[in-house]
Amino acid sequence: MSSANFENVLYETRGLGAWITVNRPAKLNALNRRTVEEIAAAAERAIEDDAVRVLVLTGAGDKAFVAGADIGEMSELNAVRAQLFSQFLQTSLDRLERSRKPVIAAINGFALGGGCELAMACHLRLASTSARFGQPEVNLGLIPGAGGTQRLQRLVGRGRALQLILDGEMIDAARAYEIGLVNQVVAPEELHDAVTGYVDVLAGKSPIALTRALDAVISGGEISQTEAMRLEAGLFGLCFATEDMKEGTRAFLEKRKASFSGR
């Protein structure tokens, strides 16, 4: 186990997982520019570390994953600076979504506004039963600005996305699971173990296969189905040039657990 701290983010490696914890509990882990920059830097550190196979993003304390953007900082923006800030947020979350390693959000409380948008940029979302989700920007005379209008409708469908964005109401974890916003819901005291277990599951897969699966789904979702099929076929073919594919097929035929090297 190793760790390294930023100002607003904690970074720790545990086995094959890197845990990135937003650490502003007094502000319910609200996102300001510095915090977003540190999340991006921590994620980049994990992605470049060959010993890390899975990233986990969570919030400090038991009240909030990320309760939203830092309203005090945002209130000082004018229209031009707000647009630039939105673009900064979108770029930062896009990099997280395009990570070549799986990213899991461990959602332990409020995931509102920018917090919900941050969770949606992760590949998988595991939530505590105490988690609450929403895009309440309309209550401030705003709209989501970190990709929420786009990722939410892709996850839950346009009708449900519009309802959450237009009425600005919160939903609980059970409803979030029902509409497909989260992948799994567990009791608060079980969240850490559930996420750790899922890290272990993903860490046992071929890193190359995971990377190419992420590319096929994320990049393929942005182009036509015909183009996406060509992308899938190309990535499928590339897998056959890897040692991991040979090991995986040998292990299957020999009825044993595969040991993937990432080559």
Give, as one character, the DSSP assignment of residue 69: B
Residue 58 dihedral angles phi and psi, to the nearest 5°: -145, 180
Q: What are phi and psi of 208, to 5 degrees?
A: -70, -45
For residues 33 and 16, what is the distance between their CA atoms, to the nearest angstrom? 29
Given a contact cutoff of 8 angstroms between Cβ atoms, the answer to whether 43 and 5 are in contact is no
CA atoms within 13 A on the CB side of 186: 18
Residue type, 161: A
- For residues 66 and 69, what is the distance between their CA atoms, to the nearest angstrom? 8
Pull the structure tokens for residue 144: 């989501």
Backbone φ and ψ for 77, nearest 5 degrees, come out as -85, 145
Query: Distance between CA 178 and CA 170 in Å, rounded?
Result: 14
CA dihedral sign of residues 186, 187, 189, 190:
negative
d(CA 224, CA 60): 40
β-pair partners for 44: none
Catalytic residues: 117, 137
